[in-house]
Amino acid sequence: MEPFSSLKNQKLPRSRQLVPPILFSFLLVLSVGLNIYFLVFQNSSDLLGNVHATEPEEAKEVKVPTAALEDEAAEPRLPTVAIREEEPILKDRPSEEQAFNVKRTSLDSSGHFPGRNIQTLRVRIRNSLSYTICRTMNADECGPFAAQLGRLLVWVLDVNRDLRKGDHLDVVYERLDNQGQFKILHLNYESGYLGKTLEANFYKATGMTYGSYFDREGKEIPQRIVGKQSPIADYIEITSLPGDFRKGRRGHHGTDFKAEVGTPIRATFDGRVLRINWNVRANGYCVELDHPAQGIKTRYLHLSRVLVKRGQYVKQGEAIAQSGNTGRSFAPHLHYEVLSRGKKKTIYNPFDFKYHKTYRRKISNQETGDYLMIIRRYDTILQANETAGKTQVS
């Protein structure tokens, strides 16, 4: 390539010598002298190194497992929290469990729940729910465990804003295997923000395909959508709501219903099928319905089978698909989304949406006695844990 004409035949000026010969010789002599000094006083340098070695190393930062990209998983996750690995315990410094007031107990559950591994956890909140739990459990277990707790608390508290330092949490849970699979059986949360104690007890009443969580009076904690307005009748639990933060701080746009593959999916309102199976890599098999009367559209993602065609008119409650685990999904579930029809999209929470009616189930009078007996078992386990903790302290 020819150089620019303005640069042709131009000579660069000779750079000045930066270090005179005399200065160069002086630096060389100084360097040799320093080497001799360190060789002579090697013992002193070793002593200095030993002093540094006694100082604790700075803790490395690790991250609590975070949520997947939008619509990737049926399991909601709490926002990322940077925490520190366990530091060396110095003299007169409180241990991790003392600092967090942690009591963990593995009990003989044969008398209450034969053949099941029942454990308890008692902590006081510090910083956040995920931060506290991950200070008391293994890193590969704390994320899913904190997520399960968050799913219960989210119906009455904003777990990102309403938790207070010093709030007391008691949990009775079942360890299902050695791969970090748990089931929360009982939760007792003393909330400084609300000024009262929140309670959740797992119970499967007669006629329930799956159990649910109820307060001490027998009223269900999670809300449910009534009859034909519900996109899915039989589901295990709700694992995510609109607005849950996911990777990249993108808010989740839908409600995730954890359900077995093949569960019937129904149109929540009268409408027409706008499209099916778009962006299949992310959405899996999917359906979008238009509902002019309500001024909304609804979407149903991660299906195993689609039962309608584009342009087809459907009635409220009509089966349009079957739930699945297709697309960017790590567990079987239905992603149900309610959004406005206009260009400026508004995402609605179906449990706050004016066209969706909601309710909570109640334990029947016939089963109240059995339910209260289960609660007494949870109370007994927690009391045994508290007694064991006092015995250890004394």
pLDDT digits (tens, 9 = 90+) for 187-233: 999 999 999 999 999 999 998 999 999 999 999 999 999 998 999 99
Q: Is the pLDDT of residue 336 over 90?
A: yes
Q: Is the pLDDT of residue 176 over 50?
A: yes
For 33, residues 6+ apart whose C-beta sits below 8 A from its C-beta are: none
Examine domains 94-222+360-394 and 224-358 and report if their fold is the same. no
CA–CA distance, 235 with 335 (Å, rounded to integer): 12
pLDDT tens column, 102-157: 554 444 444 567 778 899 999 999 988 999 999 988 888 888 899 889 989 999 99
What are the start-end ranges of the H helices in the chain? 21-40, 42-53, 96-100, 129-134, 139-153, 280-283, 368-393
Q: What is the pLDDT of residue 50?
A: 34
Do 87 and 59 form a contact (C-beta atoms < 8 A)? yes
> 19 vs 23, which has greater pLDDT?
23
Beta bridge partners of 201: 186, 214
What are the start-end ranges of the H helices in 117-176? 129-134, 139-153
pLDDT, average across residues 307-336: 96
pLDDT, average across residues 290-313: 97
Tell me which DSSP letter residue 128 carries: B
Q: What is the pLDDT of residue 44?
A: 38
> 97 vs 73, which has greater pLDDT?
97
| Residue 342 binned pLDDT confidence (cut-offs 50, 70, 90) | confident
Residue among 90, 174, 82, 187 nearest 134 (CA): 82
Tell me which DSSP letter residue 43 carries: H
pLDDT tens column, 1-17: 444 443 343 343 444 45
Among the residue ranges 75-79, 168-172, 323-327, the one predicted with the least confidence is 75-79
pLDDT, average across residues 164-184: 87
Q: Is the pLDDT of residue 178 over 60?
A: yes
pTM over 0.85: no
Convert 157-186 to b/e letters by CB count within 10 Å (16 or more is b).
Answer: bebeeebeeebebbbbbbbeeeeeebebbb
| Residue 252 binned pLDDT confidence (cut-offs 50, 70, 90) | confident
Q: What is the pLDDT of residue 76?
A: 38
| Residue 343 binned pLDDT confidence (cut-offs 50, 70, 90) | confident
Compute the mean pLDDT over every residue in the chain, rounded to the nearest whole number. 77
Q: Is the pLDDT of residue 335 over 60?
A: yes
Domain ranges of the chain: 94-222+360-394, 224-358
**CATH code of the domain made up of 224-358:** 2.70.70.10
| Residue 21 binned pLDDT confidence (cut-offs 50, 70, 90) | low
CA–CA distance, 393 with 95 (Å, rounded to integer): 13
Q: What is the pLDDT of residue 34?
A: 64
Q: What is the pLDDT of residue 344?
A: 81
pLDDT, average across residues 94-102: 47
Task: Indicate the residue type of 312.
Answer: Q
pLDDT tens column, 41-89: 444 333 333 323 333 333 333 232 333 333 333 333 333 333 233 333 3
**CATH code of the domain made up of 94-222+360-394:** 3.10.450.350
Euclidean distance between the first and the last CA atom of the chain, given in angstroms as a whole number: 87
- CA torsion, ordered 353, 354, 355, 356, to nearest 10 deg: 50
